[in-house]
Amino acid sequence: MNYSAVLGAVALSLAAGTATAGERSLTVYTYDSFVSEWGPGPAIEEAFEARCGGCDLRFVALDGGVDILQRLRLEGQDSGADLVLGLDMNLMAEARGLDLLAPHGADTSALDLPIEWDDETFLPYDWGHFAFVYDTEQIAEPPASLAELLEAPEDLKVILQDPRTSVTGQGLLLWIKHVYGDDAPEAWARLNERVLTVTNGWSQAYFSLFMNGEAPMVLSYATSPAYHMAVEESDRYQAAEFAEGHYLQVETAAMLRSSDEPELARDFLAFMLTPDFQRHIPLGNVMNPAIDLGAELPTVFERLIDPESLTFTPEAVHANRRAWIREWLNAAAR
Amino acid sequence: MPRWKRLSPWPPGLGFAALALVAGLGLGSLGALLWQAREVHPAMLWQEPWLAAILRFTLWQATLSTLLSVGLAVPVALALARRPAFPGRGLLLRAMELSLVLPTLIGLFGLVAVHGRRGWASPLWEWLFGLEAGYLYGLSGIVLAHVFYNLPLSARLMLQALETAPAAQWRLAAQLGLSRVAIWRTLEWPRLASLLPRLAALVFTLCFTSFAIVMTLGGGPQSSTLEVAIYQSLKFDHDLALAALLALTQLTICLGLWLLALSRGGAPSLMVGSVRLPALGRWRRRDASGASRWVDAIWLLALVALLVPPLSAIVIAGLGGLPELPQASSLWPAAARSLVMALGAGLGALALALALLAGSRWLQRSGHAVLGLAMEGGGQLILVVPALVLGTGLFLLLRPALGSGWEGYALVVLVNALMALPFAMQVLRGALPGLTVPELRLADQLGVRGSARLRWLTWPRLRRPLALALAYAMTLSLGDFSVIALFGSPSAPTLPMLLYQQLGGYRWQGAAATALLLLAGVALVFAVLGGLTRRPPRPRWRP
């Protein structure tokens, strides 16, 4: 049997018809919910194309930030992308290690983040804290700290996500590690008694379970209630503010050295920190904008919690993630 | 040599071509991963202390799920065959076809709404046992979900096998007044016996490779499957070598099982009978009256209780979201795109299934039994290769050519066709043997050959199974999200993609409505294909 001949034929037939028109085009690898009809993608594409004068901005949607990194790693020097959008801080060290990215060269003075930012490769476009969202119809007084959550009555069930397969799950892993350090295994063991289940992804946890009323609390983002308040006009779901602080997620974009359109890519990165891009973030991506939007910020965002930010450096996360996951597995699998 | 024994060279040729495509994509992607990883030490497998635990759990839950799904499907299928005309039977069959193709996220939503801690069934549970309904989380929940997905499929395929028994046999059974046990021994068991091993292997494979259900309902990392380990090593750790080794482990276990099933399945009987549905009503079966009415009623009610409440929960949630649907401008294009892709994948799966089955049968008849079984087993390969390994491997193989335009969709259609292949083969296998030796001889003597034989002898027997196989294959790819997520997509979504995008944007009501539309599409495909082939063509005799 000649496999390669078959595959060759398939490859050839797939190769036909890739040619595109001669206008300047910019390909951006990002994640699925960014480009959807309800995400910020379509409006941002329109705004950028109106601005650059006859260019074509093309989003290629992958499953998530980890998949963007994976795609870069597999494609290497001849990546089809000019830019990547959607790598969070925890993926930065690995992405930098690939040696494929170029400095952004953008003016970062407009940035308005909870932490200082001086990275020359990765440019933030939004941020948010991980948080436990609770159902006010099931609990009136949520725990006020991680410590209180660990001491809560055991019938206060929470829904978590697996750090091996989800970004929010990994967020909680880092959060617990940051707060409890070497005592993290004991903290996990105590939290475990209150865990209803650990899903593979955020969608399962939030929609299949939490929205069905299965548990009063779910691991999500501090910005999640903004959507319910603004679009559904419901105050039912709120985020619990914890005294120890909340782990921070910053989402970033970066340009590739191999890009054929470095000028245009830099234009896009600069455009990212303007109101024309940022005004689509709060309700489109349900995250906090990376610049001060002033009066354009939806009012519900003022009603969100504003906790202290906890972070590890990207390098520390990269170096320790495997060990910390193993630690969690041992503590949680019992 | 009598004429009818002269074998055409086409079946093995097409069979080998189909096998080369399936095996090339499946093993090729695995090979690409190993090649990219460069350094592979099989000892890595033994150095991972958690692997043995994961493997034990995976085998345990898959075995339990398979035994319950297939075992309980037998009385359900027998009851359905014994009661050919109770009110709502048609609807129940439709519901059985729906459950298999529900996207997991939606299926989970329905199961949680019914069986969860706050579910519809929880008051009943508390009243019965005085406990909070916590059975959805842990092994019991995993098994319940797997039974929800696989029992209807198993019962549906068994029913199809039972219905292929010739009407004359049923008439005889009725005239002789055969008892329950005698009917089972002479009519039912022989039909099921050749189907069971392959069906069990199919269900086992589906449960073994289950991912989202096991994680969501498992309660924690103590319930992990091999797929999770593969996901972790491939995505988070970028350990291609370990991922490929884990995939090989999975491949070995599942293919070993398939080999066992194929060798046990026995030669399918050549007694394929009349195309007409056995009109059981006309010949009263002795075992259809008395206490068996109550037993059958209980089994059928149990099936309804398993199937209908979660589906209703999904429909109710979807109806609530219907007002949001018109706002989604990408909805109808997405639905059209999905339907076209599903048709392509369905026809592809059908063509491949026919080629593999015909080739396999030819080889078995001409004395190459092992080769024939290997060809049939090869059709199951894609189900056993973890989707993520397949996606990454194909990406590595086809990369220079893999843009983000229509060729991405074409690849999705191809992979979907391959994933639907085992289902199509399962449906068609029993129907393909076609003509008995005396029939063939008669046809030869009468000079009915070539296209005439195809038109008048083969086609009438195949049209119903072909329609069912096409319906399963089409709807499987209609509801599939896993494959399209692998390759990355331009902004034009398919229906399941749209659903996940809606969830990503918190539009859960809209997502429920999209799910309802998807279900309606699935039901439509089954109804249209079933309707088109309901009545066998009436031969018009013209002098």
Rounded to a whole number, what is the distance in Å from the CA of B101 to chain A's nearest CA? 17
Question: Which is more confident, B285 or B280?
Answer: B285
Cβ pair B390, B486 in contact under 8 A: yes
Tell me what pLDDT residue B454 has.
67
Distance CA A85, CA A28 (A): 7
B236 to chain A nearest CA, in Å? 7
Radius of gyration of chain B (CA): 24
- A107 CA: distance to closest CA in chain B (Å): 30
**Where residue A1 falls among pLDDT bands split at 50, 70, 90?**
very low
Residue to test with chain B: of A133, A200, A234, A285, most B Cβ within 10 A: A200
Q: Is the pLDDT of residue B274 over 50?
A: no
Average pLDDT of span B125-134: 80
> Looking at beta carbons, which residues of chain A come within 8 Å of B28?
3-4, 7
Determine the distance in angstroms separating the CA of A211 from the nearest CA of chain B, rounded to an integer: 9
Q: Which among A31, A33, A37 is the top mutation candidate for probing chain B, defined by the most B β-carbons within 10 Å of its own β-carbon? A: A37
Q: CB A286 to CB B219 under 8 A?
A: no
**Which SS3 state, helix, strand or coil, does residue A95 take?**
helix
- Tokens representing A270 are 């600069």
Number of H helices, E strands in chain A: 14, 12
**Closest-CA residue of chain B to A213:** B118
Task: Write out pLDDT tens, residues B178-220.
Answer: 777 888 888 888 888 888 988 999 999 999 988 888 888 988 8
Average pLDDT of the residues in B245-249:
89
Element (H, E) at B60: helix B49-82
Bridge partner list, A83? A28, A255
pLDDT band, very low/low/confident/very high, at A255 (cuts 50, 70, 90):
very high
- 8 Å CB contact between A58 and A23: no
- Identify whether the C-beta of residue B168 lies closer than 8 Å to the C-beta of residue B273: yes
Say yes or no for a CB contact (<8 Å) between B108 and A208: yes
How does residue A128 score in pLDDT terms, banded at 50, 70 and 90? Answer: very high
Nearest chain B residue (CA) to A328: B221
What is the pLDDT, as a whole number, of residue B50? 73
Res. B302 pLDDT band, cuts 50 70 90: very high
Enter the tokens of residue A78.
Answer: 């001849």
Name the residue of chain B whose CA is nearest to A75's CA.
B399
Interchain contact, B231 vs A3, CB within 8 Å? no
Q: What six digits make up the tokens of B190?
A: 């022989």
The single residue listed with the structure tokens 């979201």 is B321
How many residue pairs bridge chain A and chain B with CB atoms within 8 Å of each other?
211
User: Residue A291 has what DSSP assignment?
Assistant: B
Work out the mean pLDDT of chain B and round it to a whole number: 81
Strand partners, A219: A132
Name which of B116, B405, B501 is nearest A214 (Cβ-Cβ). Answer: B116
| Band of pLDDT at residue B487, cut at 50, 70 and 90 | low
**Residue B236 pLDDT > 90:** no
Candidates B224, B287, B265, B298; CA nearest to B51 is: B224
Other beta carbons less than 10 A from residue A293's beta carbon = 17
Instruction: Determine, for residues B19 and A80 on separate chains, whether the beta-carbon distance falls below 8 Å.
Output: no
Q: List pLDDT tens digits, range B101-115.
A: 788 888 898 999 999
Taking residues A4-23, report their average pLDDT.
41
Q: B43-57, B278-292, B354-368 — which is least confidently predicted?
A: B278-292
Average confidence (pLDDT) over A110-115: 94
- What is the DSSP code string of B181-225? HHHIIIIIHHHHHHHHHHHHHHHHHHHHT--HHHHHHH-STTS--
User: In the prediction, which pLDDT does B389 show?
Assistant: 85
Lowest mean pLDDT among A15-24, B216-225, B375-384, B479-488: A15-24
Q: Which helix (H) or strand (E) holds A101?
A: strand A101-102
pLDDT value for B117 = 87
Q: Rounded mean pLDDT of B253-273?
A: 66
Encode pLDDT of B398-440 as tens digits.
Answer: 776 555 567 778 888 888 899 899 889 888 876 665 556 666 6
Inter-chain touch A80–B404, beta carbons under 8 Å: yes
Q: Kindly state the greatest CA–CA separation across chain A.
A: 67
Q: What is the pLDDT of residue B277?
A: 45
Which of the pair, A239 or B458, is modelled with greater confidence?
Answer: A239
Asked if pLDDT for residue A223 goes beyond 90, the answer is yes
Q: How far apart are CA B88 and CA B168, in angstroms?
A: 27
Contacts of B144 (CB under 8 A, 6+ apart): B111, B115, B135, B136, B217
Partner residue facing A199 (CB), from B119, B216, B401 = B216
pTM, rounded to two decimals:
0.86
Which of A59, A74, A207 lies closest to B491 in CB terms?
A59
Mind giving me the DSSP string for A221-270? ETTHHHHHHHTS---SEEEEP-TT-EEEEEEEEEEETT-S-HHHHHHHHH
Q: Is A71 helix (H, G, I), strand (E, B) or coil?
A: helix
Cα–Cα distance for residue pair B419/B448, rounded to 1 Å: 37
For residue B13, the model assigns a pLDDT of 83
User: pLDDT band for position B534 (50/70/90)?
Assistant: low
- How far apart CA A266 and CA A262 sit, in angstroms, is 6
pLDDT computed for residue B443 by the predictor = 72
Record: contact A38-B410, CB cut-off 8 A = no
The CA distance from B78 to A87, in Å, is: 55
ipTM: 0.82
**Per-residue pLDDT reduced to its tens digit, B66-92:** 999 999 999 999 999 888 888 888 889
Q: CB under 8 Å to A146, separation ≥6 — which residues? A: A175, A176, A179, A187, A242, A244
Contacts of B513 in chain A (CB under 8 A): none
Tell me the average pLDDT across A263-280.
95
User: How much of chain B exceeds pLDDT 90, in percent?
Assistant: 18
Structure confidence at residue A212 (pLDDT): 87
The fraction of chain B above a pLDDT of 70, given in percent, is 84
